Structure 1
């Protein structure tokens, strides 16, 4: 998890089967302004696919 301002970037490798759940502790986010909205972005390591619907 990386933070910049009020943007939180979560880097994760998606799995083909099952369900993944992520929990983030607000204290760990280190936001610039905790009263403002937070933008969450999920990214993957290089060349990982998110959409496996074609398999």
Structure 2
């Protein structure tokens, strides 16, 4: 996976925890999930509109 191993992933996670704090990680994950969900929904709606034309 892009040449990133377990030690690199652990280091990235540690840096994220230090920057944002452990209490804000669930909020960040929730926001990221909602953003991805909205993006997929908009792509699906656009495909349906194109299919109707």
Structure ranking higher on relative contact order (CA contacts 8 Å, 6+ apart):
1
TM-score normalised over the length of structure 2: 0.26
TM-score normalised over the length of structure 1: 0.25
Higher strand share: 1
Larger radius of gyration between Structure 1 and Structure 2: 2
